[in-house]
């Protein structure tokens, strides 16, 4: 029976009173406590919607207090992180495990010559995997092959020979001092120029070298001991290895101090410094650039972008004031740390022990076959991806994902008109950029597969095959300079469990690897799929308009297309997001870095809003009768989103990610954006006082 409205009860009470003969003083108004809405509770007698995991949930938790615990608490309690993993997730890592097993099967067939007749590049795939998996051969010849290459790379006596050595290593896929690649010019996206980027560090980030706290000091001490141990294993005498390790640390610290921070590197203006050869030789004086470019096969190169002028100025100084006695140990170390999987087991065990103690927390090293799958996917991802997608990515998955992308882009357009903080001129420019994405989305796999015909491999040496693959990729990358932009190129292999937005191409890309359950599940309800995969789509679309992506126009050029007022309003709104995430604890005593994670947090917030709105429109257009279910469509949406992020992380890994990862921890990627969502608040009938509802003045909204 419905509860009568409070006003109706008061009127009924007044009607039963007896009339009085004289006026009475009005009674004081009763103090009525505010009525909190009744807490929503799931009806567990109703069926669970397809695509949601009943056993992942914690029905004892309150969704309005801790939604992550409500959606993932059961999974968290029952799941153990595999020994060889730093973390495990119901989404990314579980899919990666399944994909890895499938890739292993393909590569074992390739190595045995059993792939279907006519499979492109089956020989290269088979050679690469067969030599990688042959650990007995590594024990016999692995170290001698690497040492022979080191001898070649460290034969230096002066700056010119150093430049040649760096070019040799760059061509072989190593990254001493800096990296070279092709890139679109930031202000003329139709032009492909050379890009020189800071690199050369053995620790995960510059902060590990410069931060003044005990934890970082301990890691630096462990790193010094690790370098010394690896050099000793490679044949140096203990005293020499100790001196070499100290030289390596000193040189890398010098590079770190000259490097931009990760937050600075998120600013396009800071990393765009186009010069010609003369300008480079002036800004990075002292380094023999003519020798380097000739040695790397780009003798006549002129158009160059340098990611950091101070860093490359320091490089010029290092080339002139650093003795070979320091440079040789550093170059030796660059090769050793970049060749661990190609060396005997004792090197791999030492590398695992060091990384596990200080960064990952893993309990056991990865099986050899997993290392080899990772290697081949990195070296020949599109050759491997052809067979992967043929077996595991049906055409209807591409069609359904395409429909979802179209729906999300429509949602973005519709939402634009509701943003009162943007003036009409800026809204129209944003609309042009969003519509440009419609024709620039890539789903599943490339239309034109990469040709690996020039890659020569054999069954003799894993190190030789690895160098051949790296040199093939280096040549492919550098030959793009000066040629028209290839809009069909993919930056991830089809089996990759990830997605990305590329600002200079203004495109969104979803490899087949991520289009698997739980992100995309053909058996799930549309609401669940919109919450999981739809949110990923909305996230990538929003990246085009986050604090970094908004700096590029519809054609991918670094250009201010915002009015002054709209730009200021945007800055104010993203500052709210930064401040929100600054207040969250990531692990132990470490807070989330709101400035480092800002772009991803804005994309999460926008992606959720867009995907939910698209889902609502989707169901309105379907017009189908709703089935009895434990959860409404909106509730299914938010649960589908949260359950795709259920994650357990080892403390060591969590600490590293605070420093290096542009993403917030999974717990806050769920609860953070949801606490700003009116749709979530309504779906689970949360009161304004709920922990999952930020106070009105603190609630963040950008897109």
Nearest to 487 by CA among 435, 442, 541: 442
Under DSSP, the state recorded for 663 is S
Q: Which region among 1-10, 37-46, 51-60, 305-314 has the lowest average model confidence (pLDDT)?
A: 1-10
pLDDT at position 211 is: 96
- 35 has pLDDT over 90: no
Q: Which region among 21-35, 101-115, 406-420 has the lowest average model confidence (pLDDT)?
A: 21-35
Separation of alpha carbons 107 and 483, rounded Å: 34
- 10 has pLDDT over 60: no
Nearest to 327 by CA among 283, 360, 287: 287
Span 433-456, average pLDDT: 91
CB contact at 8 A, 670 and 47: no
CB contact at 8 A, 468 and 454: no
Q: What is the DSSP secondary-structure string of 295-346?
A: HTT-TT---EEES-HHHHHHHHHHHHH--HHHHHHHHHHHHHHT-GGGS-HH
pLDDT digits (tens, 9 = 90+) for 99-114: 999 999 999 999 999 9
- 13 has pLDDT over 60: no
- 252 has pLDDT over 90: yes
pLDDT at position 1 is: 36
pLDDT band with cut points at 50, 70 and 90 for residue 441: confident
pLDDT at position 32 is: 45
Nearest to 328 by CA among 207, 165, 475, 487: 165
Place of tokens 């989404």: 91
Element (H, E) at 510: strand 507-511
pLDDT band with cut points at 50, 70 and 90 for residue 75: very high
Q: Phi, psi (5° rounding) for residue 276? A: -100, -175
Span 181-194, average pLDDT: 97
Encoding tokens for residue 576?
A: 């709210």
3-state secondary structure of 552: strand
Separation of alpha carbons 624 and 612, rounded Å: 18
Q: Are strands 188-198 and 304-306 parallel, antiparallel or unpaired?
A: parallel
Residue 179's beta-bridge partner residues? Answer: 197
- 667 has pLDDT over 80: yes
pLDDT at position 574 is: 96
- 668 has pLDDT over 60: yes
Q: Which region among 24-28, 217-221, 403-407, 567-571 has the lowest average model confidence (pLDDT)?
A: 24-28
Place of tokens 């090197």: 347
CB contact at 8 A, 18 and 36: no
Span 675-690, average pLDDT: 96
pLDDT digits (tens, 9 = 90+) for 486-533: 999 999 999 999 999 999 999 999 999 999 889 989 899 999 999 999
Q: How far apart are the first and last CA of the chain?
A: 42
The percent of residues above 90 in pLDDT, for the chain, comes to: 87
pLDDT digits (tens, 9 = 90+) for 94-147: 999 999 999 999 999 999 999 999 999 999 999 999 999 999 999 999 999 999
Span 227-242, average pLDDT: 97
Q: What angle do CA 407, 408, 411 make, to 5 degrees?
A: 90
3-state secondary structure of 349: helix
Count the Cβ atoms, other than its own, within 10 Å of residue 460.
12
pLDDT at position 37 is: 53
Nearest to 286 by CA among 307, 315, 259, 258: 315
How far is CA 238 from each of CA 148, 225, 523, rounded to the nearest angstrom?
A: 21, 11, 60
CB contact at 8 A, 221 and 302: no
Element (H, E) at 615: helix 598-622
pLDDT digits (tens, 9 = 90+) for 604-654: 999 999 999 999 999 998 876 566 789 999 999 999 999 999 999 999 999
pLDDT digits (tens, 9 = 90+) for 370-401: 999 999 999 999 999 999 999 999 888 888 88
How far is CA 248 from each of CA 169, 173, 233, 243, 323, rounded to the nearest angstrom?
A: 17, 20, 16, 9, 12
Separation of alpha carbons 662 and 642, rounded Å: 19
Place of tokens 């590329």: 502
pLDDT at position 440 is: 78
Place of tokens 């072989």: 172
Under DSSP, the state recorded for 513 is G
How far is CA 349 from each of CA 82, 203, 336, 346, 437, rounded to the nearest angstrom?
A: 18, 18, 14, 5, 46
* 115 prior amide bond cis, ω within 30: no
Count the Cβ atoms, other than its own, within 10 Å of residue 467.
19
Q: Phi, psi (5° rounding) for residue 558? A: -70, 100
pLDDT at position 400 is: 84
Domains, the chain, with CATH or none: 54-79+393-448+484-698 (3.40.390.10), 142-340 (1.10.1380.10)
């Amino acid at each position: 029976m419905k509860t009568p409205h409070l006003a109706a009860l008061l009127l009924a009470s007044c009607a039963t009173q007896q009339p009085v003969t004289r006026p009475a003083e009005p009674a004081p108004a009763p103090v009525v406590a505010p009525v909190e809405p009744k807490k929503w509770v799931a009806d567990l007698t109703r069926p669970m919607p397809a695509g949601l995991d009943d056993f992942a949930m914690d029905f004892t938790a309150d969704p309005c207090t801790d939604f992550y615990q409500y959606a993932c608490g059961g999974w968290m309690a029952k799941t153990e992180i595999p020994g060889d993993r730093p973390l495990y997730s119901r989404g990314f890592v579980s899919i990666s495990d399944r994909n890895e097993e499938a890739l292993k099967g393909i590569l074992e067939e390739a190595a045995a010559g059993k792939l279907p007749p006519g499979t492109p590049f089956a020989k290269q795939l088979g050679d690469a995997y067969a030599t990688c998996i042959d650990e007995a051969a590594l024990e016999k010849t692995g170290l001698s092959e690497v040492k022979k290459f080191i001898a070649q790379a460290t034969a230096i006596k002066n700056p010119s020979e150093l430049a040649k050595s760096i070019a040799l290593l760059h061509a072989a896929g190593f990254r001493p001092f800096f990296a070279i690649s092709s890139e679109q010019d930031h202000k003329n996206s139709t032009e492909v120029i050379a890009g020189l980027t800071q690199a050369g560090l053995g620790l995960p980030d510059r902060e590990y070298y410069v931060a003044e706290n005990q934890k970082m000091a301990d890691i630096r001490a462990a790193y010094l001991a690790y370098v010394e141990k690896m050099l000793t294993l490679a044949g140096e005498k203990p005293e020499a290895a100790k001196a070499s390790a100290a030289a390596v640390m000193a040189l890398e610290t010098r590079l770190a101090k000259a490097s931009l921070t990760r937050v600075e590197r998120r600013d396009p203006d800071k990393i765009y410094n186009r010069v010609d050869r003369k300008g480079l030789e002036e800004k990075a004086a002292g380094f023999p650039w003519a020798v380097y470019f000739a040695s790397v096969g780009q003798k006549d190169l002129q158009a160059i972008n340098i990611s950091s002028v101070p860093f490359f100025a320091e490089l010029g100084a290092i080339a002139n004031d650093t003795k070979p006695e320091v440079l040789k140990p550093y170059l030796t170390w660059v090769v050793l740390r970049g060749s661990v999987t190609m060396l005997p087991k004792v090197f791999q065990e030492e590398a695992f022990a060091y990384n596990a103690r200080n960064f990952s927390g893993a309990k056991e090293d990865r099986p050899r076959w997993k290392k080899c799958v990772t290697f081949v996917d990195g070296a020949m991802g599109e050759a491997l991806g052809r067979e992967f997608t043929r077996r595991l990515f049906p055409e209807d998955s591409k069609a359904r994902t395409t429909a979802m992308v179209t729906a999300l882009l429509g949602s973005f357009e519709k939402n634009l008109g509701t943003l009162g903080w943007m003036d009409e001129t800026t809204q129209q420019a944003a609309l042009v950029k969003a519509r440009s994405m419609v024709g620039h989305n890539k789903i599943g796999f490339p239309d034109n597969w990469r040709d690996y015909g020039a890659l020569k491999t054999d069954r003799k040496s894993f190190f030789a095959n690895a160098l051949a693959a790296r040199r093939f990729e280096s040549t492919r990358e550098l030959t793009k300079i000066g040629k028209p932009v290839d809009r069909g190129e993919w930056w991830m292999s089809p089996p990759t469990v990830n997605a990305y937005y590329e600002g200079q191409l203004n495109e969104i890309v979803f490899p087949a690897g991520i289009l698997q359950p739980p992100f995309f599940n053909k058996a799930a309800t549309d609401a669940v799929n919109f919450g999981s995969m739809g949110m990923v789509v909305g996230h990538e679309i929003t990246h085009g308009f986050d604090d970094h992506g908004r700096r590029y126009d519809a054609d991918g050029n670094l250009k201010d297309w915002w009015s002054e007022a709209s730009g200021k309003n945007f800055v104010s709104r993203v500052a709210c997001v930064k401040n929100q995430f600054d207040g969250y604890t990531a692990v132990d005593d470490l807070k989330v870095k709101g400035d480092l994670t800002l772009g991803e947090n804005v994309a999460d917030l926008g992606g959720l809003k867009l995907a939910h709105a698209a889902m609502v429109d989707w169901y309105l257009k379907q017009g189908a009768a709703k089935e009895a279910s434990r959860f409404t469509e909106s509730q299914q949406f938010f649960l589908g989103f949260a359950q795709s992020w259920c994650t357990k992380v080892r403390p060591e890994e969590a600490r590293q990610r605070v420093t290096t990862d542009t993403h917030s921890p999974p717990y806050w990627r769920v609860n953070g954006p949801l606490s700003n969502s009116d749709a979530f608040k309504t779906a689970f009938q949360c009161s304004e006082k709920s922990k999952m509802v930020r106070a009105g003045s603190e609630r963040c909204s950008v897109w």
